[in-house]
Amino acid sequence: MIISQVYPGDENKILMQVQYDEYDRNIGRIFSSARDELAHADAILDAKLLITDTALAVKRFDHRVLQDAHDIIAAAFRYHNDDGGQLRLFEDAEKQRARYAHEWNEWLERQLLLFLRYPVFVRSVVECVVFANNVMGYMAEDRLCAFLLSYYNAVDWMKEDGYLKVYKLVSS
């Protein structure tokens, strides 16, 4: 995860740091949820897709292929849920970090369940990993991030010089 300001007012460094600390685990969750959904669909259809076998064999992968997608999702969480770093009554910094981690992880889990309804998400995530660092993988990264930007209506709240400039929006 790259810690940076993605939208005006995106300045809660504590929340960003918590998301950064959870990054490795959550990158894995993003891939495993899409991979498992693909395997489930493949089994139902008895399609025997080569990409399914390849994805199921993945034990480790280059995190960078899903980094922008993760960071877009993380920014959307901050945009919709950030309390500006305000401590709650009787809350210290450690409890605040634990609360942020819990809220972020729970929200991400709900988002992933929603994303699995979109074949473009499932396919793109799996292709990002299976075709990492080649033309097909780059195309999948572009497609995935464009989907997320459209899904979150990022044009309404993100800075124009960041992800919106890099990825063309697609209709979800």
Domain that holds residue 42: 13-166
Q: How many domains does the chain divide into? A: 1
- Predicted confidence at residue 125, as pLDDT, reads 98
Q: Are 132 and 61 in contact (CB under 8 A)?
A: yes
Q: Is the pTM value of this prediction over 0.85?
A: yes
Confidence of residue 168 (pLDDT cuts 50, 70, 90): confident
- Please report whether residue 7 resides in a domain: no
- Is 172 within the bounds of a domain? no
Asked, for residue 116, whether it belongs to a domain, the answer is yes
Residue 129 counted as domain residue: yes
Q: How confident is the model at residue 170 (pLDDT cuts 50, 70, 90)?
A: low
Give the residue-averaged pLDDT of 23-49. Answer: 98
Residue 3 in domain? no
Does residue 142 fall inside a structural domain? yes
The verdict on residue 55 lying in a domain is: yes
The confidence score (pLDDT) of residue 172 equals 45
Window from 25-29, 36-40, 112-116, 166-170 with minimum mean pLDDT:
166-170
Residue 1 within a domain: no
pLDDT at 80 over 60: yes
Average pLDDT, the chain: 96
